[in-house]
Amino acid sequence: MVSTTAHITGFGSALPECVGQDVLWEGFFARHFAGAEAAGRVFRSARVRRRHTAVNPLVEDVSTWSTGARMRRYAQEAPPLGVGAVAAALADSGLAAEDVGLLAVASCTGYTTPGLDLRVTAELGMPPDVQRLLIGHMGCHAAIPGLGAVADFVSSRDRAAVLLCLELTSLHLQPATESLDQAVAHSLFSDAAAAVVVQPGPRNGGLAVVDIAALTDPAGADHMTWNVTDLGFRMGLSPRVPDVLSRHVAPMITELLARHGLTTADVDAWAVHPGGPRILEAVRGGLTLPDAALAESRHVLAEHGNCSSATVLLVLSALRTACRPRAGRYGVAMAFGPGLTLYAALVHAT
């Protein structure tokens, strides 16, 4: 068996229409959440300036659409974004589409068969023997186990792979309600496609995937939910999520780093999934990080919102633009989702 180090060598993204948070509130959500007195405060405190929407509620109110109608729209909107993100990542890495051995697709916001994975491979001219993997309905943390699966393929097969995370949360606008948890969800979530190319190493200028860690707290299983209903997928968010994260994040990350003789002082870059301002503060406090350590995570939240599984890849890309982690240094990417689950990846800049 071949065993080699997997390196992230290219990033790409594709984003639908951009709309300002204030415009969305004033033009639609103020009416939509008229029965929830605190909804305006929720939107203002989300720390989101603008979001991307494949389905703009200022133009189309899909809150009463059936799940079937939403899935048909997903099949229409998702492929061009997926093709754009993967093509950009391939170009960034210098890899040709015909050299890809595996395409893994993570998405929890839409399903169709033949799926997005087949549409992307065919459109870009990947070889007919390319392997395909769908990582479905894991939620916001799916990029990290997806990266782990792709890295394992690259290491064991000595072939390049691509991970695509694509989420269209705007398709799942829920009917008007007085429920504050729905106001929280609709104040944060956004649409994006993000992709990374992973190749066998060594690769100068890449990010070696060193290790993956996971921790699930079953006691928090009802804190974060994503349920299929007759009217799309409905998010459930408990205000207790940050408290659970703050309790678990330090022991988990300490153990991950210790496996490699490292501590938080050795980490030069933190790519933390910005599930919301309280999530970021819980992680920062739990790990006793300086404010500047999460600057890119806050920037992605402000400029893109929470794009579910695609978000942590956008943060990693922003860190790469900022030249972090520096050559020879380590970085940690982490994301959180239903379960309640924490996932983290340790990477090394080469």
- Displacement of CA 348 from its chain's centroid (Å): 20
Q: How far apart are alpha carbons 338 and 169 in whole angstroms? A: 16
Q: Is 140 tagged catalytic?
A: yes
Q: In a 10 Å sphere around its CB, with 0-12 CB exposed, 13-18 middle and 19+ buried, how is residue 217 labelled?
A: middle
CA–CA distances in Å: residue 160 to residues 48, 103, 288, 346: 35, 9, 37, 20
Considering 18, 108, 140, 165, which one is annotated as catalytic?
A: 140
List the one residue out of 83, 181, 113, 140 whose CA is nearest residue 310: 140
Q: How far apart are alpha carbons 14 and 345 in whole angstroms? A: 23
Q: Which two tokens stand for residue 265?
A: 């002082």
Residue 349 CB: number of other CB atoms within 10 A? 23
Following CA atoms 330, 299, 297, 318 in sequence, which dihedral angle do they give, to the nearest 10 degrees? -40
Q: At what angle do helices 116-124 and 67-93 cross, to 10 degrees?
A: 40
Q: Which two tokens stand for residue 212?
A: 């993956």
Q: Which residues pair with residue 8 across a beta bridge?
A: 198, 207
The radius of gyration computed from the CA coordinates of the chain, to the nearest angstrom, equals 19
Number of H helices, E strands in the chain: 11, 13
Position 223: which residue type? H
Q: How far apart are alpha carbons 268 and 289 in whole angstroms? A: 11
Active-site residue list: 140
